[in-house]
Amino acid sequence: MAEDDAASAVGGGERSRRGKLPRPSREQLDALLGAHGGSVRAVARELDVARRTVYRWIEALELDPDAYRG
């Protein structure tokens, strides 16, 4: 997924006053994890957020990154 696509997938790339991206939907995060083979690091890089943030989203949405790994 291209960087522009990822930004638009998660709230249009617009950040709040505190600089935070809105949490992606389950479908959006599912697509990102699938595109990156379950690599949380790659998803975090693409969205320009900390890995911990991605892990929080994964936990909140009850996703399993290992399920996306070959």
| Amino acid, single-letter form, for residue 41 | R
Q: Which residues contact 7 (CB under 8 A, 6 or more apart)?
A: 13, 47
Three-point CA angle 46, 29, 20, nearest 5°: 60
Residue-level pLDDT at 20:
72
SS3 50: coil
| Amino acid, single-letter form, for residue 68 | Y
Residue-level pLDDT at 1:
47
pTM: 0.74
Name residues of the chain where pLDDT drops below 50: 1, 3, 16
Q: Tell me the C-alpha to C-alpha distance, in Å, between residue 64 and each of 12, 18, 23.
A: 25, 28, 17
Token duo for residue 4: 């522009």
Q: Where are the domains of the chain?
A: 3-68
